[in-house]
Structure 1
């Protein structure tokens, strides 16, 4: 055969997810030798040119949607099932093509190509669907999610990892500036004594679907941007971290006659110099809440917070509260005006006051730091559990 002879060939497919291709589909490089309503060898109508094949597909479409293809792929001749679909919307010039019977996204683009061109396309398709690169076929198996969560997560309210979403400031026009501010916040919090463990940092495009996760002011700003231009979007930075090497649970149980739990809490204050030319300093908060003192002979001391505070003071750490009654007290968002959104002081005070008035016990979770001497059972999930086992 002459190298310039042309045959009807699959030139491309519209489905971009090439990893989902398989050998039962028409693939780029397949030479269409014939089409038929059934798979019997003597019923295939030869395909001589793309335009002629389109007309034949149009005739078939009046009788059936599913057809059979006889294709040459390398040295093999295969029979594949396919569906007839219209190509284009013109009523004056209707053209038809085919798609994979198993995937309606897999629409074929046909062309009259040389054997050399078909061979090159077949080699490309072979590399995509070969078992060596695609791996074994996947199967679905059952998994006892409820049991695993109950066994390997400290309690139902824990997600193990936490994150803070940093929105760009009004005058921040590149992601590097937001990233720098994000890492400055993290470094300042750690330097102040918060035992945070860095996990990851990623860019995050903020769209209307995420309005419920950010403050109302941010939602208004996003809506304004959306209606101003279709291409303008807010791009923030999400910082992932572990709240300490573990979250350790403490139960504070008041006794009759007690009017407070005995732990004094406040926000972490970061002391920062105003400028290099002065020694004046001012305080800022990273948004975390910590225990700065424990009263003797109270529920907090009986729970062990007093001993823990002594350890923290010796090692330069803070006793940071990650959750109160299972609800997070950690920062969640930094808005475009620079405000840190975290646990509300008034609501925290109301929760503690209500519990002590009823003499109800409360449960708090503390961020643990490396090598602290907390003796509790069962042991919480710590950061070492997240690492692969040593071989």
Structure 2
């Protein structure tokens, strides 16, 4: 579309008073431009007076129609209909604005939504749509003069439209995640502690928050390199009845809303008359200090042991409890893969080498039940799976928590293991790496034994005792942990 200003003489009709009361063919805008420039001077606007129509795509087929147009809008609609049926839809519209201001639109003829009339679509911007309307010349001049107020009115009523955009999720999850198709967001869900045997009453939210805080502090004190990220309440629906239902808070009463702020269980009645209870759990979000590090352990025919042992902390984390340092020989898989070096760096900084994934499957604790038991992974079954890897010679892919990014660099220099994406937030400045623990610090590791069928347990003079774990399986707790009391795979 182009715009020109002519100082040539106007027609006698145009030079007459704007108040002259006769019908003209004018422009009506139906849809605005996608570039939002329909209000610029070179675009057609509502109230512009149509001076000329040129229908046809070539010089041979070009037909001109000039104002005044016979039968106004209806006559022009027949012209457009005939051109559309002949598939000759190219059209140029020339309009007048005021006395000596002109504009042009190069468009194509398309049916309107009701298919009873025809409108023009801009060939440069298909979103811009205009039609025709019969008005008096005075009305057209009034519309042209009210352009500013109409722009303000259009601004007020214009709404931003929403829509859907396709996204290559599978490719992005394969290429941009540290572990394909698996997130780096870590959390544990703590259910409120039941205060009776039938779990009809629960301790309050403050008690659950204290448990989450204690679990995090204990994990950090034992050497698990994690930092706090966020905490939130999570509502779980349950069915209640009887005394429990009558004793819970009626959330429908505004006066009782303050009572549920610290309540772990409150109830309401649905439209079927069933008493529904809402149990408020706590979800604790955390992250490893230095992200996760992948270690691929390749196996050989002559391998009879992997060269490392796994155990579990009281908080449910699986960790490398010991590893053989086979300096120079590299005869064991743990030494060849660099796992032994990484374990050595961990022990020198009083950190645990926590295993976060085995074959891309997470092996982290994920829930605390209403009895206080921690849902986590069993070291016996993990040891059995590692032993099957050794027997079948299928490479083992481990992911471990790092406590410092430089550890990954130093380990990668001597091994072929590769670090993962460093998208995890760095550790806050207030988190300092601890020195080796003394007798006044919390001693790490409540260790759980590995698979006895593939493990040698050496004798130790240190006292030990057998305890029943919270999740129901048997674990060994070493009062004084030492490398001579380890379970080797």
Which of 289, 304, 307 aligns to 2:318? It is: 289
Residue 341 (1) aligns with residue 375 (2): yes
Which of 233, 245, 260 aligns to 2:278? It is: 233
Match of residue 312 from structure 2: 267
Which of 407, 415, 418 aligns to 1:373? It is: 407
Q: Matches of residues 166-245 of structure 1 in structure 2 within 5 Å?
A: 166-171=190-195, 172-207=202-237, 230-245=275-290
Shift, 1:355, TM fit? 1.1
Shift, 1:169, TM fit? 0.8
For residues 236-259 of structure 1, give each alpha carbon's deviation from its aligned partner in whole angstroms, at most 9, with x where no partner exists. Answer: 111112244311111111222212
TM-score by length of structure 2 reads 0.43
Rounded to whole Å, the distance in 2 between the matches of 1:183 and 1:248 is 26
For residues 280-334 of structure 1, give each alpha carbon's deviation from its aligned partner in whole angstroms, at most 9, with x where no partner exists. Answer: xxxxx11001112112231111111111112112222110000111111100111
Point out the more displaced range, 246-255 or 141-150: 141-150
Match of residue 300 from structure 2: 255
Rounded to whole Å, the distance in 1 between the matches of 2:163 and 2:186 is 32
Rounded to whole Å, the distance in 1 between the matches of 2:318 and 2:203 is 32
Tell me, yes or no, if the aligned pair for 2:237 and 2:277 is still in contact at 8 Å. Answer: no
Rounded to whole Å, the distance in 2 between the matches of 1:151 and 1:164 is 27
Shift, 1:385, TM fit? 6.4
Shift, 1:229, TM fit? 6.5
Q: 1:207 to 1:371 in 2, by over 3 A?
A: same
For the residue of structure 2 that corresponds to 1:309, the secondary structure is helix
Shift, 1:235, TM fit? 1.4
CA RMSD of aligned residues (A): 3.2
Residue 354 (1) aligns with residue 384 (2): no
Match of residue 147 from structure 1: 171
Structure 1 gap ranges (5+): 1-128, 210-221, 269-284
Residue 322 (1) aligns with residue 362 (2): no
For the residue of structure 2 that corresponds to 1:373, the secondary structure is helix
Rounded to whole Å, the distance in 1 between the matches of 2:303 and 2:277 is 57
Q: Which one has the bigger helix percentage?
A: 1
For residues 96-132 of structure 1, give each alpha carbon's deviation from its aligned partner in whole angstroms, at most 9, with x where no partner exists. Answer: xxxxxxxxxxxxxxxxxxxxxxxxxxxxxxxxx9789
For the residue of structure 1 that corresponds to 2:389, the secondary structure is helix
For the residue of structure 1 that corresponds to 2:229, the secondary structure is strand
Rounded to whole Å, the distance in 2 between the matches of 1:236 and 1:177 is 11
Tell me, yes or no, if the aligned pair for 1:168 and 1:178 is still in contact at 8 Å. Answer: yes
Rounded to whole Å, the distance in 2 between the matches of 1:226 and 1:329 is 39
Rounded to whole Å, the distance in 2 between the matches of 1:165 and 1:289 is 18
Q: 1:299 to 1:141 in 2, by over 3 A?
A: same
Work out which of the two has the higher radius of gyration on C-alpha atoms and give 1 or 2: 2
More RCO (CA 8 Å, sep 6+): 1
